[in-house]
Structure 1
Amino acid sequence: MVKRYKKSNVIINIKPSDKQCKPVKEIFPDIIDKSGDILSINYELLESKYVHDVYETMAEHFSHTRNIPWPKVKNFLASFSPGSIILDVGCGNGRYLECTTNLNIFSIGIDRCKSLIEIAKTKNSSSALFIDDCTQLNIRSHIFDGIICIAVIHHLSNSERRIQAVSELIRCAKKNGGKILIYVWSWNQVADTVGVRAVTSKDSLVPWHLQKKYSKLGNERYNDYVRNITIGQDNNEITHKSPTKPYKTYNLSNNKEHIIHVHPERYLIPLQRYYHFFEEYEIIDICNHGINLYHSQTEDKSIISIKQIYFDSNNWAIELEKF
């Protein structure tokens, strides 16, 4: 007879201080100019360490939490007719590319993170996927019926780079009706909503608690530890050993839900991601400057206009159209 062990629910108690966003100006005061913007010469410091390296490390865990497309983005993609060509800039694990599979739409996804592109390839065999930089897209001009750039531009560390990214999106959109949808995190966070962040500075390092089972930093000692807290449950006890601390036994005889409270360092690796939190006027201003930059760099006489801006799940969304 095979014994069946009841699985435990592990609750990780993260200290409130470990959930707080850290202002960049307090950590790196020397890289901020007088206007409060991050100096152009310092963008690599933030973006390499606190964006690119972090996403490579957390890619599998991040992908695990990003499976459901946001309804309004999905509706935007569904508005294109069969035969359209769509570009997803910052496609991550490809969750929005999956929305185009049954629409007879050809989609291309690009991302700066190699690990996320590899994950996206396993889910989107019909999409073209490659690594690229949103500020210098290796893509022909005036090609795409629709472009989405979801949760990307807020990782660019100064206004100059954000404007350049918008200009590149405009360049790649086709003339006579190409549409662009951009999402960025909002400075105006709604209390008591999913994913709300308590921020005191628009340029902040936002915590991500990486589960060690998804980490490239994991090791066999940690794997042994995970196994140790899932055995012995048939007799209402769990023997618990951390990689650095002695065994400890929890009596579960009066605990019908088999809940274990553990310290976060036993399960989690703390990471920090750089974000700029946008006010509504800022994303409008960035887009208008992106339009002006595009016109200054090209002879194209297309009219690019802002069609709408709306608030969605603690993000500002803005839609542009090119005629």
Structure 2
Amino acid sequence: MDEKYARYLLGMSKGGYDLIAERFSDTRCFFWKDLGGLLEYVNSGDRVLDLGCGNGRLFGAIKEKGGDYHGIDNSEKLIELAKKNNPQAEFQTADALNIPFGDNYFDKVFAIAVLHHIPSLKLRLDFLKEIKRVLKQNGVLILTVWKLSPKKQVWRVLLENAFLKIIGKSKLDFKDIFYPWKDFQGKVLTQRYVHLFSSKELNDLAKRAGFTIKDFGETERGKDKDTNLFLIASK
């Protein structure tokens, strides 16, 4: 994927989340149980970045662990909701590819369900390298992505997109899809770009960015029992 189109998709994703911010926030009111095990990496006094924080739903859990929480997201609307929901926390609108903090600043960085929304191999690698930059030496990245789904409708879309790419009719990369966000009546409000990872691909990407893998596995996400890949890696 060329970088110009990748940047266009990033802008489209940002606009989409601004559009659906309130409804999206309503579905992310509670801390999902599958994330609970990832909190064991937070120690009291840790400076923690929640990258792609959305409505700030991780704040309470990280605060309970004694972490010094900082949340950033590129959606102004979601940051407005995060500040409203958690007025005592620090939130700001920012680009995950240009994190507004200095080198070696954070002990831990959470990137929950963010990386799969970053288009192109180059920008995904830039994303991980930027996280590595702001982590302290031996700091830890806690990351999740959606796993490549076995659902028939997903595979059908993947195969259609792959065929279009092979014949030069698609700018997307292999394993890229657009995932619709629908209202209660089933009307599509926006299309979200998603890259569907395999386990090997995610591990290899983290290693290319210079991380050391500490743990890796799968967790169920949300009420639909879909699967996330999680990765714990150190600088």
Q: Tell me the TM-score range normalised by the shorter chain.
A: 0.7 to 0.9
Instruction: Give the drift of 1:87.
Output: 0.5
Instruction: Give the drift of 1:44.
Output: 2.4
2:128 corresponds in structure 1 to 166
**Following the alignment from structure 2 to structure 1, what is the Cα–Cα distance between the partners of residues 189 and 52?**
23
Of residues 67, 78, 85, the one that matches 1:123 is 85
Instruction: Give the drift of 1:269.
Output: 4.5
**Following the alignment from structure 1 to structure 2, what is the Cα–Cα distance between the partners of residues 79 and 45?**
35
2:213 corresponds in structure 1 to 306
2:182 corresponds in structure 1 to 209
Equivalent pairs: percent with the same residue?
27
Structure 2: runs of 5+ lacking an equivalent? 159-174, 221-226
* TM-score using structure 2 length: 0.83
**Following the alignment from structure 1 to structure 2, what is the Cα–Cα distance between the partners of residues 72 and 147?**
18
Q: Give the letter for the 2:179 counterpart.
A: V
* TM-score using structure 1 length: 0.62
2:198 corresponds in structure 1 to 279
Please list, as runs of the form range in 1=range in 2, the aligned pairs for 1:112-191 lying within 5 A after superposition: 112-175=74-137, 177-187=138-148, 189=149
Residue 84 of structure 2 aligns to a residue whose secondary structure is helix
Q: Give the letter for the 1:89 counterpart.
A: L
Q: Is the 8 A contact 1:89 1:111 kept in 2?
A: yes
> What is the number of equivalent residue pairs in this alignment?
212
**Following the alignment from structure 1 to structure 2, what is the Cα–Cα distance between the partners of residues 94 and 78?**
19
RMSD: 1.9
Instruction: Give the drift of 1:101.
Output: 2.6
Higher-Rg structure is 1
**Following the alignment from structure 1 to structure 2, what is the Cα–Cα distance between the partners of residues 80 and 131?**
24
**Following the alignment from structure 2 to structure 1, what is the Cα–Cα distance between the partners of residues 55 and 30?**
11
Runs of 4+ in 1 over 3 A off after TM superposition: none
**Following the alignment from structure 1 to structure 2, what is the Cα–Cα distance between the partners of residues 174 and 116?**
28
1:198 corresponds in structure 2 to 154
**Following the alignment from structure 1 to structure 2, what is the Cα–Cα distance between the partners of residues 71 and 209?**
24
Q: Give the letter for the 1:106 counterpart.
A: D
Q: Is the 8 A contact 1:87 1:148 kept in 2?
A: yes
**Following the alignment from structure 2 to structure 1, what is the Cα–Cα distance between the partners of residues 114 and 84?**
22
Residue 106 of structure 2 aligns to a residue whose secondary structure is coil
> Structure with the greater relative contact order (CA < 8 A, sep ≥ 6): 1 or 2?
1
1:23-51 deviation per Cα after TM superposition (whole angstroms, max 9, x unaligned): xxxxxxxxxxxxxxx222211232222x1
Instruction: Give the drift of 1:190.
Output: 5.2
Residue 184 of structure 1 aligns to a residue whose secondary structure is strand
**Following the alignment from structure 2 to structure 1, what is the Cα–Cα distance between the partners of residues 92 and 84?**
13
Q: Is the 8 A contact 2:107 2:136 kept in 1?
A: yes
**Following the alignment from structure 1 to structure 2, what is the Cα–Cα distance between the partners of residues 80 and 271?**
34
Please list, as runs of the form range in 1=range in 2, the aligned pairs for 1:6-155 lying within 5 A after superposition: 38-49=1-12, 51-155=13-117
Q: Is the 8 A contact 1:106 1:127 kept in 2?
A: no
Q: Is the 8 A contact 2:20 2:189 kept in 1?
A: no
1:260-289 deviation per Cα after TM superposition (whole angstroms, max 9, x unaligned): xxxx36xx4532111000111111121122
1:288 corresponds in structure 2 to 207
Structure 1: runs of 5+ lacking an equivalent? 1-37, 212-263, 292-303
Q: Is the 8 A contact 1:101 1:126 kept in 2?
A: no
Q: Is the 8 A contact 1:88 1:147 kept in 2?
A: yes
Q: Give the letter for the 1:105 counterpart.
A: G
**Following the alignment from structure 2 to structure 1, what is the Cα–Cα distance between the partners of residues 40 and 205?**
27
Q: Is the 8 A contact 2:9 2:193 kept in 1?
A: yes
**Following the alignment from structure 1 to structure 2, what is the Cα–Cα distance between the partners of residues 289 and 282?**
10
